Amino acid sequence: MVYYMNLVQPIIPRRESYVVSHKALSVHSVDRDITKWPNSNHFAINVPYTIKNVTSMALVNSIFPSNQKVISTANENTKMSVTCVLEGSEVYRTIEIDEGTYTTAQLINELKNKLDTEFTGFKVLYNEVSQKFVFYNTTYPFTFHFSEPEDYERCDRDSPLYKNHSGWGLGYTLGFNTKQDYVVSDQSDLIIASAEPPVEIEIADTTCYVLNADVNPRLFVDSSIYMEIKQYNHYDEMIPFSETNNTTLTSANRATVYTRNDGVGGTTDSAFAKIQMVQQPLSLSVQDFTNNKCNIARFIEPVNRLSRLEFKFRYHNGRMVDFQDQPFEFTIEITHLIDDIQTPYTIRIT
């Protein structure tokens, strides 16, 4: 009899085999627990069941309300201080216009009504050729004050938008470029090629106190909103309103860097998706991102377990989106790996 000693049987390693699977997760803003998340611009949900080995997530479609306000307290552009010289005395008043999204004609009426409440003789026109606002008074010289910020007590920011080089107040929205006082003290000829509403005075014989805006009014809503998903962001962004200094961006100050002139050039992994918005009040912005390669987060090392998602919706400057409690929805496609255990089957045909 022959014995074989020290016989080593090689161990054949099991080859890992996976199947790629796709899950579509439909999320509505009304799915959130409103006791924990009263505002729909920031909320979290629990995924119906834990998904393992996630390799990518993609925003594939969205339906958002187009109800953004160009002029609002949150934008800090509802107020403007005005001085008129009445019978040798300066009268200083602050007008406040209603929040909303305006056409030029609507804004003309709103400004005129609020100016008429405090003063007399004011007219507001829109020059359709130069596309600029024109303010004039046939009786009194006047001053628009933009050199100091207006008071917005309801805003909870650490730093007001007035410190930024754009979007700093109602003056900027109306087309005034600089944060200074625009003083009108000399009478000028009112020469307007085409205006809305039509000019009803005799141009040749009439002089009045005239102030023309520097540029076209800024009456457009923010063109995009950013969706953040906590721990799964992949967008890099430049920091707006930055100035040159030595501030270092860290995870601790990233949340507040948007509201200060920190001089940081950019930030990494700041958002999950970028969603374009349209300026059509009381309508829905419906978008399909199927062919959009940017709104996809891919993970080199699969996420072991996915059971919860936390969303935040903001603008590029860090200000949170005000959906005004209008419902919205979106779909996220989750790609994950399923362990493929090949099982032999015996098939009998009867």
Identify whether residues 51 and 96 lie together within a single domain.
Answer: no
Is 73 inside any structural domain? Answer: no
How distant, in Å, are the alpha carbons of 67, 75, 95, 144, 213 from that of 174? 21, 14, 14, 12, 7
Residues 192 and 226: their CA atoms lie apart, in Å, by 41
Identify whether residues 208 and 225 lie together within a single domain.
Answer: no
DSSP state letter for 17: -
Identify whether residues 180 and 204 lie together within a single domain.
Answer: yes
Q: Which amino acid would we find at residue 247?
A: T
Asked if 107 contacts 219 with a C-beta cutoff of 8 angstroms, the reply is yes
Identify whether residues 90 and 186 lie together within a single domain.
Answer: yes
Q: Which amino acid would we find at residue 119?
A: F
How distant, in Å, are the alpha carbons of 95, 167, 295, 316, 330 from that of 276? 33, 19, 12, 12, 14
Residues 72 and 222: their CA atoms lie apart, in Å, by 13
Residues 13 and 3: their CA atoms lie apart, in Å, by 28
Residues 272 and 230: their CA atoms lie apart, in Å, by 9
Identify whether residues 85 and 183 lie together within a single domain.
Answer: yes
What's the length of the chain?
350
Predicted pLDDT at 204: 41
Identify whether residues 161 and 278 lie together within a single domain.
Answer: no
Q: Which two tokens stand for residue 78?
A: 């509802």
Identify whether residues 58 and 120 lie together within a single domain.
Answer: no
Identify whether residues 205 and 326 lie together within a single domain.
Answer: no
Name beta bridge partners: 32.
none
CATH of the domain at 57: 2.60.120
> What's the domain count of the chain?
2
Is 267 inside any structural domain? Answer: no
Asked if 215 contacts 243 with a C-beta cutoff of 8 angstroms, the reply is no
Is 302 inside any structural domain? Answer: yes
**Per-residue pLDDT for the chain (350 aa), expressed as one digit of tens each?**
555 555 555 665 556 678 899 999 999 999 999 999 999 999 999 999 999 999 999 999 999 998 888 999 989 999 999 999 888 789 999 999 999 999 999 999 999 999 999 998 899 999 988 999 999 888 889 999 999 999 987 555 555 788 888 899 999 999 999 999 999 877 766 555 455 554 544 444 456 888 999 999 999 888 899 999 999 999 988 877 766 544 555 545 555 554 444 445 678 889 999 999 877 777 888 989 988 889 999 999 999 999 999 999 999 888 899 998 999 999 999 999 988 766 666 666 65
Is 282 inside any structural domain? Answer: yes
Asked if 62 contacts 289 with a C-beta cutoff of 8 angstroms, the reply is yes
Identify whether residues 207 and 303 lie together within a single domain.
Answer: no
Q: Which two tokens stand for residue 21?
A: 């699977």
Query: What is the bridge-based pairing of β-strands 79-86 and 42-65?
Result: unpaired
Identify whether residues 191 and 291 lie together within a single domain.
Answer: no
Please give the residue range of the domain that contains residue 230.
18-68+221-234+272-339
Q: How far is CA 161 from the centre of its chain?
A: 14
Identify whether residues 310 and 335 lie together within a single domain.
Answer: yes
Is 150 inside any structural domain? Answer: yes
- The residue among 209, 80, 190 whose CA lies nearest residue 141 is 209
Residues 178 and 165: their CA atoms lie apart, in Å, by 9
Identify whether residues 91 and 187 lie together within a single domain.
Answer: yes
pTM for the predicted model, two decimal places: 0.79
Is 257 inside any structural domain? Answer: no
DSSP-based three-state secondary structure for 116: helix
